[in-house]
Amino acid sequence: KIWSESYSVERSSEVVSINRHLAFKARESLRETAHVLQPDVSVYYPTVFVQLWRELHCTPPGLLRRSDGKSWFTKFKGEPSIDDGGLYRETTATTEVFPIQLAAPIWKLLVSEPLTPSDFAQFDVATGQTLRYLRLTAFDSDAMFASIFPDQSFTCINEQDQLVELIPNGANVRVTLANRFEYADALESYRLHQFDEAVACIRNGLASIVQVDLLPMFTWAELELLVCGRPTLNLALLRKKTEYSPDMDMQDTLVERFWRTLAGFTSDEQQLFLQFVWGRSRLPFSEVDFGSYTFKLVRHMSPSNPDEYLPVAHTCFFQV
């Protein structure tokens, strides 16, 4: 309730235009060049995110605060319709979920929870192993240490493949057996704080929609769950929010087979099913968060051989 009430200001809706064909091509191209960083977001490939940024980055944040569940309407270029919630559902900070993939340390920093060396396992295994080796290994002599770390200085390589000095003039300070603990501490401190600037930008973005002062009330796992939803499909919840066509009911043989088949899917297959029928990979967090949406299961009457008929989904209306 606290999370929901922090962004309840009513404003008029924006209309954004999205070219889904360009976004699809961008996704294919990015598989080849995802490791290349561009200095200006305007030269990035036209993914859905980049197209939304171009449309909305000049929009006052207040216009995105709406209690009716529509911060903006999406118009698909070259397609004669306006969506009934599609892209909006995936990208707005309301009770809808956005399954963004962030490492646990990022969520921790968002709720002002300090990182510890154990967090290296989530984003930098090599550094974690190096720190343990430096601190726990009983080196026999200076010569032995120098043979293992022959040219190591008080520097490291950052995420942009640039050399960073861990202390003033660190490039000219050799790591020795005597000062190895100082080097380990400096390296650990840098790695644990290397995301601070990026996380601060994320928090500033959140601050335009929600009250970030409330974030420390949640654990990092709770915040991830609120934003991303559950990674597994809650079949009991989905069944509660299901409507059937007039010629069907919950005891219908076809319905029972449908739920039995869906329960037999793997987690990945269930997410693919949800994408097929609703254009998203995760359900809302709770029954209340569904709002007016219900899953609609409809019997399709066709004179053709039913064994050769494929299911038809209407993602805007959560129907199959």
Contact predicate 176/141, CB 8 Å: no
Strand partners, 16: 74
Amino acid at 31: R
Token pair 């999370």 is found at 3
| Two tokens, residue 172 | 């000219």
C-alpha–C-alpha distance, residues 148 and 139, integer Å: 10
Cβ burial 110-146 (10 Å sphere, 16+ → b, else e):
bbebebeeebbeebbeebbebbeebeeeebeeeeebb
Q: Which of 58, 156, 201, 316 is catalytic?
A: 316
58 is catalytic: no
**H or E element, residue 295:** strand 295-297
Q: At residue 255, what are phi and psi to the nearest 5 degrees?
A: -65, -45
Amino acid at 187: L
Long-range contacts of 83-92 (CB under 8 A, 24+ apart): 83/316, 84/316, 84/317, 85/316, 86/279, 86/315, 86/316, 87/18, 87/48, 87/52, 89/279, 89/280, 90/279, 90/280, 91/49, 91/52, 92/64
C-alpha–C-alpha distance, residues 63 and 109, integer Å: 28
Of 300, 298, 285, 299, residue with least CA distance to 238: 285
Q: Known catalytic residues? A: 316
